[in-house]
Chain A
Amino acid sequence: MDFAQLLISGLANGCVYGLIALGFVLIYKATEAINFAQGDMMMLGAFITLALTNDNHMGLPFIPSVLIAIAVMAVFGYLLDALMLRHVFGQPQIAVVILTIAIGYIIRFGAGLIWGHEPQSLHSPLAGQDITIAGIALGLDEIAVIIVTILLTGFLYGFFAHTRTGIAIQAASQNQLAAYYMGVPVRRVYSLVWGLSGVVAAIAGVLFASKGSIDPNTGLLGIKAFAAAVIGGFGSLPGALLGGLIVGVIEPFASRYGPSGYAQIAPYLLLVLVLVFRPHGLLPQVQQKKV
């Protein structure tokens, strides 16, 4: 019983990590840039929802607020690439890394200026409700997180495997030059991927905020999600989710059964082990080029 509760809450946490990791991997696969602002984009999505729906702010209904926040983050991601990252395109990798770290700081302190640095909680209809299945009390918020993650994953899979735009994104990430030759507007496709990862960030933010409180530093969670993406095999979308789930599940079990203080170390210890024994992660992206 204890075990099941730990597992569900671990999986719910893991889903959030997995979604942030997915954002990292989406952008990395398509554009070969690593967006260290991904965690902060998640936090921003959560705060925009909070500002729209909480009674002490605008007090709009919950679902429309979430949809508006998703749309805002989609535009935010698109413009971030179109107005900023496009200019460092083709520059050394380190320029992109530093640029996204700087953007992350700007988002973090900008959010602090607008909404304050105190923790706040999102007024979600899911918060604080339990359902009991076979004698096990499970948080409705945690179940919702898992279901939404499954739905979003299915949606993304369908998008990449079956739509013209999704296949074009894959094509541009596998062979940028050939994509140009086929008439794919590669730069616009890249901006689109940033917009998509803004959407994923907003959803992850709302899911995270409905499980507890958020403050502008919540975005630092992105580092843990980054570790999850590496564990899963950076460059693999299923790997990112898997890595997120593993990190999410390992934390509550480590704190429950391990010595105290161990929970914080566990994900990184796992990261070290994975990198030593499987340097390409658990689900590496296989890609060989024939010449």
Chain B
Amino acid sequence: MSTPLLQVDNLESYYGPVLAIRGVSLSVESGQIVSVLGANGAGKTTLLKTLSGVMNPEKGSVSLNGDTLTGLPPEQVVARGVIHVPEGREIFPLLSVADNLAMGAFLRRDRDAIARDHEMVLDYFPVLRERLAQAAGTLSGGQQQMLAIGRGLMANPRIMLLDEPSLGLSPRLVGEIFDIIKRLNTEQGVTLMLVEQNARVALSIAHHAYVMELGRVVMSDSAEKMRQSRDIQQFYLGEQEDGVRGQRRWKARKTWR
């Protein structure tokens, strides 16, 4: 197999005094959507922050197309095309929608291509076009999420790290946003690493998935196989399974423990 676009080897990272990532290894192939699932505190966000360079790993390495990223400051990681769309949107509240989008292209100089990407983003998120001059802080939660994704696209990412895009959104909006994410992948060829608690919706669009628990990757398989795995159904998709006495077996153990 060719070298993957993003390769993470044995990464360890502290969140404050806590070792939040304990030896994570994973890889993302170009053109794929790879999902990282896990509950609160599994270390998903710390993983993304370490990848984008705002946190330094204790051990291990990250490489993009074979070039090592570990130890680079965030602006150089961004310049190489690894774009982090953070959890909770994190837009610039007092800047206009247009200026927020322009900030996404902060490190780019190719004016024509930036203008093309600007149009592309507005085609995918038409609601932003109507609000270009409005302060971003006055947008609704779903619109802010769209703006955050659009701002990330403006950086012309080789891989986009998408942290919990479903957070705090209604099921209808989640569906809408994930449809757009899927279209960005198939139509624009955007490679995505998607971190989610909402396993059902993440697995519906991903090619491959990892499951993290307590800072470790405990499972790795194609999204297709994951959807059929009994453990995943029970613990992440919340599907009811009748036990021998017609009750759910609450004490059931996951096979990886």
Are B88 and A291 in contact, CB atoms less than 8 angstroms apart? yes
Contact B92 A289 (CB under 8 A): no
Q: Which residues of B contact A177 (CB under 8 A)?
A: 54, 86, 90
Q: For B41, what are the chain A residues with a Cβ–Cβ distance below 8 Å?
A: none
Distance in angstroms between the alpha carbons of A208 and B179 in the assembled complex: 61
Among the 9-residue stretches B15-23, B26-34, B95-103, B121-129, the one with 4 or more Cβ atoms under 8 Å from chain A is B95-103
Q: Are B78 and A182 in contact (CB under 8 A)?
A: yes
Whole-angstrom CA separation of A291 from B102 in the bound complex: 23
A164 adjacent to B74 (CB under 8 Å): no
Q: Is the CB of A180 within 8 A of B93?
A: no
Q: Is the CB of B90 within 8 A of A183?
A: no
Q: Is the CB of B104 within 8 A of A182?
A: yes
Given A167-B102, A184-B75, A174 and B94 contact (CB-CB distance below 8 Å): yes
B78: contacting residue among A168, A181, A291, CB under 8 A: A181
**In this complex, what residue of A is CB-closest to B136?**
A174
Q: Decide: A289 and B137 in contact? CB cutoff 8 A.
A: yes
A153 in the interface (beta carbon within 8 A): no
**Cβ-neighbour of A180 out of B54, B89, B137 (below 8 A):** B54
Docked CA distance A171–B73 (Å): 18
Say whether B54 contacts A167, CB under 8 Å: no
Whether a CB of chain B sits under 8 angstroms from the CB of A290 is yes
Q: Which of B75, B91, B95 has the largest count of A CB atoms less than 10 A from its CB?
A: B75
CB contact under 8 A between A183 and B155, given known A175-B93, A290-B141: yes
- Bitwise interface map of B from 172 to 193 toward A, beta carbon under 8 Å scored 1, else 0: 0000000000000000000000
Kindly identify, within residues 138 to 178 of chain A, every residue whose CB is under 8 Å from any CB belonging to chain B: 164, 167-168, 170-171, 174-175, 177-178
Chain A nearest CB: distance from B219 CB in Å?
28
Expressed in whole angstroms, the minimum distance between the Cβ of A179 and any Cβ of chain B is 8
Let me know if B84 is at the binding interface, CB within 8 A: yes
Q: A170–B92 contact, CB under 8 A?
A: yes
Please report the total number of A residues contacting B with Cβ < 8 Å. Answer: 21
Residues of B within 8 A of A289 (CB): 93, 137
Residues of B within 8 A of A174 (CB): 92-95
Interface residue B79 (Cβ < 8 Å from any Cβ of A)? yes
Q: Which of A168, A185, A288, A290 contacts B103 (CB 8 A)?
A: A168
Q: How far is the CB of B76 from chain A (nearest CB, A)?
A: 8
Question: Contact: B91 with A182, CB < 8 Å?
Answer: no
**Contact assessment for A181 and B86 in the assembled complex, using a CB-CB cutoff below 8 Å:** yes
Q: Complex: how many Å from CA A289 to CA B78?
A: 25
The reply to whether B79 and A183 contact each other, CB–CB distance below 8 Å, is yes
Cβ contacts under 8 Å, A171 to chain B: 92, 95, 99, 103
Q: How far is the CB of A55 from chain B (nearest CB, A)?
A: 48
Instruction: Mark interface residues in B201-241 (1 if CB within 8 Å of A CB, else 0).
Output: 00000000000000000000000000000000000000000
**For B137, what are the chain A residues with a Cβ–Cβ distance below 8 Å?**
287-290
Residues of A within 8 A of B151 (CB): 182
CB–CB A181/B95 < 8 A = no
Question: B85: which A residues are within 8 A, CB to CB?
Answer: 181
Residue of B83, B88, B144, B168 near A181 (CB, 8 A) is B83
Contact A287 B94 (CB under 8 A): yes
Closest to B74 in A: A180
Residues of B within 8 A of A182 (CB): 78, 103-104, 106-107, 151, 155
A288–B75 Cα gap in the complex (Å)? 27
Binding site for B on A (CB under 8 A): 164, 167-168, 170-171, 174-175, 177-185, 287-291
- 29 A–B pairs (Cβ distance < 8 Å), ordered by A: A167-B99, A171-B92, A171-B95, A175-B90, A175-B91, A177-B54, A178-B86, A179-B103, A180-B54, A180-B74, A180-B75, A181-B52, A181-B83, A181-B90, A182-B78, A182-B103, A182-B104, A182-B106, A182-B155, A183-B74, A183-B75, A183-B78, A183-B107, A185-B75, A287-B137, A288-B93, A289-B93, A290-B144, A291-B88
